[in-house]
Amino acid sequence: MPDAAHNAETMTVPLIHSFSSAKLPQAAETLRGEIRDFLAERLDGVSPRTRAKTWSGFDPDFSRSLGARGWLGLTLPREYGGGGADAFSRFVLMEELLAAGAPVAAHWIGDRQSAPLLMRYGTEEQRRFYLPRICAGEIVFCIGMSEPNSGSDLASIRTRATQDGDSWRLNGSKIWTTFGHKSDYMIALVRTSGSPDDRQAGLSQFIIDLTLPGISVRPIVDLCGDAHFSEVFFEDVRLPADALVGEEGQGWAQVNAELAFERSGPERIYSSMVLLDLWASHLANSPENPCHQERLGKLLARLAIAREMSIALAAKLANGESPVNEAALLKDLGTELEQAIPVEIADAVGSDPAPVDPELLGTLAYLMQISASFSLRGGTREILRGMIARGLGLR
């Protein structure tokens, strides 16, 4: 018998067993009803074409109303304005927001990663200053990681903060900053010592007030004509000492913790839901076509299982774990499904030369174009597969 097979006898692959059944507790399901009532009222009359944007729908007023109901910072401690709830409740909230196509951009980043990052690494003053306002939906955060010459290779960034007496002087630029042009604060990863050759060493995180002198922001228009990201330039920006987040030189470890918050949410499977639902309801109101039913069923089956896996991930988060590799695995699987939805629907819609409902066509066109970004933002497919390979013990 060949050796490899023999060795495989005793081998187990723990990563793949991380997703077996978890169950949403009743408290989380109770929250669902309240969220749905709220969304039904708030989104009444908003077209699918607009709702399909969900992640890039920017509506501070909407975000403030969520805050007023206690739905921002849901898992943060109450003493900082949070909801003190668990990861399951957050899963349900995210699920309902994304399925409905709610405009979540104005609070998405602050709620998902900036607030948890500050909770973990911030000083008590920073927590008291920022967290209650994030939870109220009053301040908007953006992520300053990527630079023109540093994308996947994040450790090669060149934006630099140099110590200048009590404060810091910041020079450089960030790019692809989601809603940088509409944000109040950026949490940025920058170099504070050494050179790009030092890689992960010498990096630090700062919280940057985007109204400071020396900062300019240029929105970037995407292929659909929307400006949801931007380039942010820093020219001799003076940052106060308390802009430093966590420890100087510990930026790499911190940013990885931040990326774990970014990647481990359930949102990575639901970006095409508005289109899927719109198409499915068209099918349901038309004579039955077995071909289309099969396409729909295959997508729903994948969705149902991806959702189970997402709930299993929420269980790990609720348990205080940091399931980084599992999150990478689910994100890659989830974005593949999000991207398959417009592909399948385009084939179905185009299989019949008859005219299509303009709202469906517009929503489909939007997702056919924007879906390429789903496997770029938050770490590319190739980078995630490298992480999964590490989780399998190959690197």
Partner 1 sequence: MDDELLGPFARLLTDLSPPATVRGAEKDGSAPELWAAIGDSGFLDALVPEDSGGVGLLPQNIASLVIACGEHLVPVPVAETIVARALLARHGADVPADAPILLWPLSEDGKLSSPVAPVFSDGCLALVQSGNGMTLVEAAQGERDGFGLPAALISADAPPLAAFESDIDLLTWAAAITSAHMAGAMNRVLAMSIAHASERNQFGRPLSKFQAIQHHLAVMAERVAASNAAAHFVFASERLALNPWRAAAAKCMVNQAAPDCCGLAHAVHGAIGISEEHDLQLHTRRIKRWQLSFGSEAYWARRVAASWREQGGGTSIDRIRRQIRGGSADG
Ligand X SMILES: Cc1cc2nc3c(=O)[nH]c(=O)nc-3n(C[C@H](O)[C@H](O)[C@H](O)COP(=O)(O)OP(=O)(O)OC[C@H]3O[C@@H](n4cnc5c(N)ncnc54)[C@H](O)[C@@H]3O)c2cc1C
What is the closest distance, in whole angstroms, from the C-beta atom of residue 358 to partner 1 in the complex?
A: 21
- Please pick, from the candidates 163, 200, 216, 293, the single residue that binds partner 1 as defined by CB under 8 A: 293
User: Among residues 167, 327, 336, 329, which one has the least CA distance to residue 258?
Assistant: 327
Q: Which is nearer to ligand X, 146 or 363 (CB)?
A: 146
Positive or negative torsion for Cα 55, 60, 65, 71: positive
Q: Which does 385 bind (CB under 5 to 8 A by kind): partner 1, ligand X, none?
A: partner 1
**Active-site option among 95, 262, 326, 338:** 262
Q: Is position 52 an interface residue for ligand X (rule: CB under 6 A)?
A: no
Q: Is position 130 an interface residue for ligand X (rule: CB under 6 A)?
A: no
Amino acid at 161: A
- Please pick, from the candidates 196, 377, 390, 392, the single residue that binds ligand X as defined by CB under 6 A: 377
For helices 273-284 and 358-370, give the axis angle rounded to 10 degrees. Answer: 150
Per the listing, tokens 């943060």 go with 76
CB environment 151-181: b (16+ within 10 A), e (fewer): beebbebebbbeeeeeebbbbbbbbbbbbbb
Q: Is position 99 an interface residue for partner 1 (rule: CB under 8 A)?
A: yes
258 catalytically annotated = no
Q: Is position 156 an interface residue for ligand X (rule: CB under 6 A)?
A: no
User: Among residues 251, 270, 282, which one has the least CA distance to residue 361?
Assistant: 282
Q: Is position 158 an interface residue for ligand X (rule: CB under 6 A)?
A: no
* Contact set for ligand X, span 205-264 (CB under 6 A): 229
Q: How many CB atoms lie within 10 A of CB 193?
A: 15
User: Strands 185-191 and 203-209, how do they pair?
Assistant: antiparallel
Q: Which does 383 bind (CB under 5 to 8 A by kind): ligand X, partner 1, none?
A: ligand X
Q: Contact 104/42 with Cβ under 8 angstroms?
A: no
What is the closest distance, in whole angstroms, from the C-beta atom of residue 333 to ligand X in the complex?
A: 16
What is the closest distance, in whole angstroms, from the C-beta atom of residue 288 to partner 1 in the complex?
A: 7
Q: Is position 298 an interface residue for partner 1 (rule: CB under 8 A)?
A: yes
Q: Which does 68 bind (CB under 5 to 8 A by kind): ligand X, partner 1, none?
A: none
* Contact set for partner 1, span 306-345 (CB under 8 A): 306-309, 312, 329, 332-333
Q: Is position 17 an interface residue for partner 1 (rule: CB under 8 A)?
A: yes
Q: Is position 177 an interface residue for ligand X (rule: CB under 6 A)?
A: yes
Q: Contact 345/272 with Cβ under 8 angstroms?
A: no
Q: Is position 395 an interface residue for partner 1 (rule: CB under 8 A)?
A: yes
Q: Tell me how far CA of residue 94 lies from CA of 32, 108, 252, in angstroms.
A: 10, 10, 28
* Contact set for ligand X, span 191-210 (CB under 6 A): none
Q: Which does 308 bind (CB under 5 to 8 A by kind): partner 1, ligand X, none?
A: partner 1
Q: Which is nearer to partner 1, 14 or 148 (CB)?
A: 14
Q: Is position 152 an interface residue for partner 1 (rule: CB under 8 A)?
A: no
Helix, strand, coil percentages (3-state) for the chain, rounded to 5, are: 55, 15, 30
Q: How many CB atoms lie within 10 A of CB 117?
A: 24
Q: Which does 303 bind (CB under 5 to 8 A by kind): ligand X, partner 1, none?
A: partner 1
Beta strands in the chain (DSSP E): 141-144, 160-164, 167-178, 185-191, 203-209, 215-220, 229-239, 244-245
What amino acid positions are annotated as catalytic residues? 262
